[in-house]
Amino acid sequence: MDMGRVIAVSGKGGAGKTLLAALLVRKLVKTGHKSILAIDADPDSNLPDALGVFVESTIGDIREEFSVEQSRLPPGYSKDAWLESKVFEIMVETPSFDVLVMGRPEGPGCYCAVNHILRKIIDSMTGGYDYAIIDAEAGLEHLSRRTTQNVDDMIVVTNGSLSGFNTAERIKNLANELRIKFKHLYLVVNRANSSHEKLILKRVGSIGLEFAGGIPEDANVAEYNLLGKSLLELPDDSPAVKAMDEIMEKLSMQGGK
Amino acid sequence: MKIPVDVSVVHEGERIRKEDMYVELGGPKVSSKGELVRVRKPGEIRDGNVEVEGPDFDKLKEGGRYPFAIFVEVAGKNVEEDLEAVIERRIHDYCNYVEGFMHLNQRYDIWCRLSKKSYERGFNTLKYLGQALITLFKAELPIIEKIQVTFITDEKKVEAFVNDARKIYEARDARARALSEEEVDTFYGCVLCQSFAPTHFCVITPDRISLCGSINWFDGRAAARVDPKGPNFAIPKGELIDEVNGEYSGVNKVVKERSQGETERFYLHSIFNFPHTSCGCFESIAFYIPEVDGVGVVHRDYIGETVLGVPFSTLATQTGGGKQVEGFLGMAIEYMRSPKFLQADGGWNRMVWLPKSVKERVIDDIPAELRDKIATEEDATDIAALKGFLKERGHPVVERWREVEAVEVPELEVMPVGAPGGIKIILQNAKIHAEKVIIKKIK
């Protein structure tokens, strides 16, 4: 089976990473892709809302359920297989993409074993899709410990401010420390102001990230967020959506299969 | 009959999305489903035969969910009933080798999907699936000489099948639960927690589950088979050195290696001398209470102070970190159900205090005559109250108090302070009252 491409989107809270993750899924869906997995790996974000999907249970819920169930499972019953089935069960399947939510962080107690098994399951699962888009928290906690180490590309989303660039640099350093090997480390600037492009490019160059483009301020996005409307329904001519063409090209994600 | 799709290990992990599925067989939304392997006599098997009881793929409505059972019968000179569970687990692997067929879970919980694509390519009968299974079983497990496969989709028949299968699973589980250290020659190690405690690792035996309660001997065996160099690995148990304490030469050898020299030996079933180390991940802690010469247990969810006057978290600091600390043992609550539970220390006869919720969980495993003699937080929250309770109820440890009082304290051989190697003083079952202890360098 061909391994798909796994892309993590990270950035500080409010920087717009959920927006970018949702727009990536939107673009893939619109270009006819059908094998897409969206993973919400940030307990503070709301990727399912942005995709117009309701998710009932999370990986965190499975972890807690397992801690109670593990002593009740019969000795000859495989825990790995039980967990794998649970992961499939909580996944929301829409006609063109699936959604998995990592959920709340673990409570006290030992999760070494269950996390080890879940990591194997999720790693193998993300590989089963043409595209897996992960909305990852800035601390990369899920990348270092839980979700997956098999991330091909990382996109850091930032606003155009100095602190935004500092965050981007921190994420890059953290990824190095965690020895996560990305094929590409991209930067996308949200609410980009085209008159600052030169300055932005200079900053991007100095921190050693590949610039994948900017998303302009978009009144539709703000309105959809407020109304709780799915970003998949944004009109094609909305500024943020239009900006995705260039970004997709930079990410070499053009064209449907 | 040529299978119209590819059958190969490369299709393992292939995901069939709801949108792409032709039919779903079993799964969380279908109540009757199951799979079973049985060993038969060669004469009872029509080798290579595949039966379908109930509607086949071409009779099922697209997009529907249906009851489903997979029944595999095998025979061979060296195929014994004990192997049924192992062979049964392969159904999952081999089904997933089939392009466009997905298989999840096990036993009465199987969940399968057939893709539209494979159906359209002519995979329109379960006979193809049976044929693929038969070919794979024979190729990968040559001990299987004869094999036949039956698929059931008729709801009533699946239901009856699963009812019968449950009895077989239960019998298997009963055998597994009865398995003891004496009957196996391999234990399993687990180093999943070494990122937290680099010198700790768990020894998992049929009588001793991992401290976190997640990995039993069967889990260890399954994981080590798949990835022998992974975090779960085989430990040849070696010679039995001490039956009561549970000391094995093979275990000690691995203890030295895996603890990075920190620890030399493990007693698998004692809290004294050379207890098993703990990571930080244990479900509960067994702790020695010298004042009553008994053992207490507290679990992670217990809020408040134990009978020692300190909470779980304080005891956890003492216990964890991969250090061997006498009188403190991190353990799974499930270990309290083991027939070898702290057997060297007297087992349940030594247990004097545990939280009520734990007591309720393991009540069936506490010998009946001890059930009302073991205190909970409702009976005692300090040592004085505990002493009174144990005396009043006639707990077996009370007998030990008299014995201790009568015991002669042997002369201690004290090595000079500062000598190479240092000294280790172990005072077991001792009651000492001293106004002052003075240690002086001998001139």
Residue at B154 is within a domain: yes
Rounded Cα–Cα distance for residues B392 and B356 (Å): 19
Q: What pairing do the DSSP bridges indicate for beta strands B351-353 and B294-299?
A: parallel
Tokens at B124, concatenated: 């329109």
Say if the Cβ atoms of A93 and B18 lie within 8 Å: yes
Q: Does residue B127 carry a pLDDT above 90?
A: yes
Q: What integer pLDDT is reported at residue B144 of this predicted model?
A: 95
User: How high is the pLDDT of residue B439?
Assistant: 65
CB atoms within 10 A of CB B305: 15
Q: Over range B122-127, report the average pLDDT.
A: 97
HSE at residue A195, side-chain half, CA atoms within 13 A, is 0
Distance from CA of A188 to the nearest CA of B (A): 31
In a domain? residue B337: yes
Query: Same structural domain for residues B323 and B240?
Result: yes
Least confident of A143-157, B98-112, B218-232: A143-157
**Nearest CB to A112: which of B18, B193, B334?**
B193
Residues B102 and B148 in one domain: yes
Range of the domain at B328: 181-406
Over 70: is that where the pLDDT of A145 sits?
A: no
Q: What is the mean pLDDT of residues B98-115?
A: 96
Question: Which of these ranges, A194-208, B138-152, B200-214, B370-384, has the smallest mean pLDDT?
Answer: A194-208
CA distance B243 to B249: 12
Closest residue by Cα to residue B203 from B194, B195, B214, B211? B211
- By mean pLDDT, which of B42-46, B73-77, B314-318, B357-361 is the weakest? B314-318
**Tell me, what's the pLDDT at A113?**
78
A41: helix, strand or coil: strand
Same domain, B389 and B283: yes
Do B151 and B64 lie in one domain? The reply is yes
On whether residue B433 sits in a domain, the answer given is no
Residue of B nearest to A97 (CA): B17
Are residues B133 and B244 located together in one domain of the fold? Answer: no
Contact, B327 vs B287, CB < 8 A?
A: yes
Residue A127: predicted pLDDT:
82
Mutate to test the interface with B, among A39, A77, A98, A129 (most CBs of B within 10 A): A77
- Residues of chain A in contact with residue B218, where contact means CB-CB under 8 angstroms, are 75-76
Q: State how far the Cα of B319 lies from the Cα of B309, in Å rounded to an integer.
A: 16
**Residue B161 pLDDT > 90, yes or no?**
yes
Read off the pLDDT of residues B246-293 as tens digits, 9 standing for 90 and up. Answer: 999 999 999 998 888 889 999 999 999 999 998 877 889 999 999 999
CA distance B222 to B224: 6
Q: What are the structural domains of chain A? A: 5-250 (3.40.50.300)
User: Distance from B371 to chain A by nearest Cα, in Å?
Assistant: 22
Please list every residue in chain B whose beta carbon sits closer than 8 Å to the beta carbon of residue A125. Answer: 13, 15
Per the CB < 8 Å rule, is B333 touching A1?
A: no
Judging contacts by C-beta atoms under 8 Å, the chain A residues touching residue B17 are 34-35, 93, 98
Predicted confidence (pLDDT) at residue A146 exceeds the cutoff of 60: no
Give this complex's ipTM. 0.85
**Final residue belonging to a domain, choices B178, B209, B225:** B178
- Cβ–Cβ below 8 Å for A128 and B279: no
CB contact under 8 A, B104 and A84: yes
* Contact state of A128 with B15 under an 8 Å Cβ cutoff: yes
Sign of the torsion angle spanned by Cα atoms B389, B395, B401, B404: negative
Residues in chain B with CB shorter than 8 Å from the CB of A89 are: 28
CA distances from B228 to A178, B33, B96, B194 (A): 26, 32, 22, 17
CATH code for the domain in which residue B158 is found? 3.30.1650.10
In a domain, B426, yes or no: no
Q: B421 falls in which pLDDT band (50, 70, 90)?
A: low
The 10s digit of each residue's pLDDT in A48-93 is 999 999 999 999 899 889 888 888 888 888 888 999 999 999 999 9
Q: Note the pLDDT tens digit of each residue in B338-393.
A: 999 999 999 999 999 999 999 999 999 999 999 999 999 999 999 999 999 999 99
Please count the other Cβ atoms lying within 10 Å of the Cβ belonging to residue B61: 10
State residue A1's pLDDT score.
45
Answer whether A125 sits within 8 Å of B13, measured CB to CB. Answer: yes
* Largest Cα–Cα separation, chain B: 97
What does the longest C-alpha to C-alpha distance in chain A come to? 65
B213 and A116: CB-CB below 8 Å?
no
Of B19, B212, B216, the CB nearest to A112: B212
Whether B22 has a pLDDT exceeding 70, the answer reads yes
- For residues B204 and A113, the answer to whether their CB atoms sit within 8 Å is no
With CB atoms and an 8 Å threshold, state whether A78 touches B89.
Answer: yes
- Residues B134 and B226 occupy one common structural domain: no
Q: Across chain B, what does the average pLDDT equal? A: 90
Asked if A129 and B18 come within 8 Å (Cβ–Cβ), the reply is: no
Q: Residue B283: which of A119, A66, A142 has the closest Cα?
A: A66
Per cent of chain B over pLDDT 90 is: 70
Residues B209 and B308 in one domain: yes
**Residue of B110 and A255 predicted with greater confidence:** B110
The pTM is what? 0.80
Q: What is the mean pLDDT of residues A93-118?
A: 83
Contacts of A33 (CB under 8 A, 6+ apart): A96, A130, A131, A256, A257
Q: Which residues lie across from A138 on neighbouring strands?
A: none
Strand B33-39 relative to strand B68-75, pairing: parallel
CATH of the domain at B204: 3.40.1470.10
At residue A119, the pLDDT reads 82
Residues of A in contact with B195 (CB under 8 A): 112
- Three-class secondary structure of residue B89 per DSSP: helix
Residue B223: pLDDT above 90? no
Name B5's Cβ contacts closer than 8 Å, sequence gap at least 6: B98, B99, B100, B118, B121, B122, B123, B128
Closest CA–CA distance from residue B105 to any residue of chain A (Å): 5
**Mean pLDDT, rounded, for B115-120:** 97
User: Is residue B93 in a domain?
Assistant: yes
Share of chain B above pLDDT 70, in %: 91
CA dist., res. B17 & res. A128, Å (int):
10
Provide the 3-class DSSP secondary structure of residue B150: strand
> Do B282 and A110 lie within an 8 Å CB cutoff?
yes
In the numeric block, the tokens 């073991």 are attached to B374
Cβ pair A110:B109 closer than 8 A: no
Same domain, B95 and B222: no
pLDDT at A255: 46
Q: What is the mean pLDDT of residues B224-238?
A: 88
Phi, psi dihedrals of residue B426, rounded to the nearest 5° = -110, 115
Which tokens go with B118?
A: 């494979």
Q: List residues bridging with A203 in a β-sheet.
A: none
* Final residue of a structural domain among B178, B198, B230: B178
Minimal-distance CA residue of chain A relative to B223: A80
Same domain, B137 and B166: yes
The tokens describing B59, both together, are 């009779």
> Which residue type occupies B325?
V
Strands (E), B220-314: 232-236, 240-242, 247-248, 284-289, 294-299
Residue B224: strand, helix, or coil: helix
Instruction: Indicate the Cα dihedral angle A124, A128, A133, A138, nearest 10°.
Output: 10
What confidence tier does A256 reach under pLDDT thresholds 50, 70, 90?
Answer: very low
Question: B108 and B169 in contact (C-beta within 8 Å)?
Answer: yes
| Helix, strand or coil, per DSSP, at residue A67 | helix
Alpha carbon distance A156, A15 (integer Å): 9
How many residue pairs from chains A and B have C-beta atoms closer than 8 A?
A: 106
Check residue A148 and give its pLDDT.
53
Q: Which residues contact B156 (CB under 8 A, 6 or more apart)?
A: none
Has residue B419 been placed in a domain? no
Q: Determine whether the interchain pair A112/B279 forms a contact, defined as Cβ–Cβ distance below 8 Å.
A: yes
Q: What is the mean pLDDT of residues B72-100?
A: 92
pLDDT in tens, A198-249: 787 788 878 878 889 999 999 999 999 889 899 999 999 999 999 998 899 9
Does the beta-carbon distance from A74 to B10 stay under 8 Å? no
Q: What is d(CA B97, CA B118) in angstroms, rounded to the nearest whole number?
A: 13
3-state SS class at B191: coil
Contact between B109 and A82 using a beta-carbon 8 Å cutoff: yes
Residue B429 has a pLDDT of 63
Å between B98 CA and nearest CA of chain A: 12
Which residues in chain A touch residue B169, judged by CB atoms under 8 angstroms apart? 74, 76
Residue B428 in any domain: the answer is no
Residue type, A249: E
> What does the pLDDT average to over B141-156?
96
| A229-233, A238-242, B41-45, B222-226: range with lowest mean pLDDT | B222-226
User: pLDDT (tens digit, 9 = 90+) per residue, A157-181?
Assistant: 988 777 778 888 888 888 777 777 7
User: Please, what's the b/e burial string for B130-147 (b: 16 or more CB within 10 A of its CB; e: otherwise)?
Assistant: bbbbbbbbbeebeebebb
Q: Where do we find the tokens 């992961």?
A: A87
Q: Indicate which of B7, B9, B12, B15 best probes the interface with A, i.e. most A CBs within 10 Å of its own CB.
A: B15
**Contact assessment for residue A123 and residue A150, using Cβ atoms and an 8 Å cutoff:** yes
Indicate if B106 and B233 belong to the same structural domain: no
Sign of CA dihedral B127, B132, B135, B140: negative
Residues of chain B by 3-state class (helix, strand, coil), percent to 5: 35, 20, 45
- Counting Cα atoms < 13 Å in the Cβ hemisphere of A218 gives 24
Chain B nearest-CA residue for A82: B105
Residue finishing a domain among B178, B195, B222: B178
> Do residues B101 and B111 lie in contact, with contact meaning Cβ atoms separated by under 8 Å?
no
Question: What confidence score (pLDDT) does residue A173 get?
Answer: 84
**Domain total in chain B:** 2
* Structural contact between residues A118 and A63, judged by C-beta atoms closer than 8 angstroms: yes
Identify the band that residue A43 occupies on the pLDDT scale cut at 50, 70 and 90. confident
Say what the pLDDT of residue B413 is.
Answer: 55
Which residue of B29, B36, B105 is the best one to mutate when testing the A interface, meaning the one whose CB has the most A CBs within 10 A?
B105
Yes or no: say if B35 and B135 are a contact pair by the CB < 8 Å rule: no
Q: Tens digits of per-residue pLDDT, A8-41?
A: 998 887 888 999 999 999 999 999 998 999 999 8
Q: Do residues B172 and B202 share a domain?
A: no
- Which amino acid would we find at residue B49? N
Average pLDDT over residues B304-331: 90
**Distance between B191 CA and the closest CA of chain A, angstroms:** 10
> Both B136 and B187 in a single domain?
no
- CB-based contact A75 B11, cutoff 8 Å: no
Top-confidence residue, A46 or B155: B155
CA–CA distances in Å: residue A156 to residues A170, A195, A221, B59: 10, 21, 19, 51
Is the residue at B71 inside a domain? Answer: yes
> A191-205, B124-138, B193-207, B219-233: lowest mean pLDDT where?
A191-205
> In chain B, count of helices (H) and strands (E)?
10, 17
